[in-house]
Structure 1
Amino acid sequence: MNEMSPLFVISVAAELAGMHPQTLRQYDRLGLVSPTRTAGKSRRYSMRDVAQLREIAQLSSDGVSLEGIRRVLGLEDEVSVLRARVRELEAALADEMLNRPGRRVFAAGSAGEVISLRTGTRARRENAVVVWRPLERE
């Protein structure tokens, strides 16, 4: 069982969210919270749905319009999808790095050029001191 499991009938979800069941029906019609449906077409709310209903209530009490709430929830969903994609890409990158020992690493040289290095080596730093002496006049 996870937070997405459809567990609650509308009356229980409304009580958990501190709302009237008719408000949940309206939010479903508006697409703010879309619970899963049983074969008999009754609504089943998950813990995630209840948390989203509570967030809607908070935003509404802060004076955000229903259209504003819809946009906020859409952006939050998009952020969740993007975070999952970043985790997926990070895992793929880590796997690739483990599978390719000895691949090359690049660094920037003092003049801005690209220096190719083997893994585990460091860029050589120039720390020589150059003394400038003006030409002596005769």
Structure 2
Amino acid sequence: MDVDQDTPLFAIAAAAELAELHPQTLRQYDRLGLVEPTRTAGKSRRYSLRDVAQLREIARLSAEGVSLEGIRRVLSLENEVRALQQRVRELESALADALLQQPGRRVFASGVTGEVVPMRAGTRSERRDQVVVWRPWGPPPDL
């Protein structure tokens, strides 16, 4: 069974034990906005695996002498980097899709039964009974 990193699983006592912190410390970090656990309908805190990892990172930075405000800034920058990396992946995917939609940019082969087999530009078909259709990158020549 796969568990999502963001699924709220742990009550405050369990999360505190996993993070090797006192539950009161977790409450303080919540009040300061360093970690924002999910709340149940009864308003009790539920921590995810990502929250526990973040609590451990806060404890590590604090032990190294970083102030709580400094920790807040580090976490903010790390979250920003993570969001930007996700956005880059989305844009790369969108760009790849857009390039495939441009006329003259698609390469494909025909299978034995006539099905279309998409291929990457510059690759050869694996089977010898396929026909590869190639289109030049530039505009079609005038005839």
Query: Shorter chain as normaliser: what TM range?
Result: 0.7 to 0.9
Aligned partner of 2:137 among 111, 114, 119: 119
**Take 1:40 and 1:80, find their aligned partners in 2: how far apart are those partners?**
31
Alignment coverage as a number of residue pairs: 106
Q: Find out whether 1:85 has 2:103 as its counterpart.
A: no
| Residue equivalent to 1:44 | 46
Q: Report the aligned-residue RMSD.
A: 1.3
Q: Find out whether 1:72 has 2:90 as its counterpart.
A: no
- TM (normalized to structure 2)? 0.71
Deviation string 1:47-85 (CA, Å, 9 cap, x unpaired) is 000000000011111111000000000011111111111
| Residue equivalent to 1:135 | none
**Take 2:49 and 2:137, find their aligned partners in 1: how far apart are those partners?**
47
- TM (normalized to structure 1)? 0.74
Stretches of structure 1 lacking an aligned partner (at least 5 in a row): 104-117, 121-138
**Take 1:72 and 1:101, find their aligned partners in 2: how far apart are those partners?**
46
The one-letter amino acid paired with 1:14 is: A
Q: Retained in 2: the 8 A contact 1:101–1:119?
A: no
Instruction: Give the structure with higher Rg (CA).
Output: 1
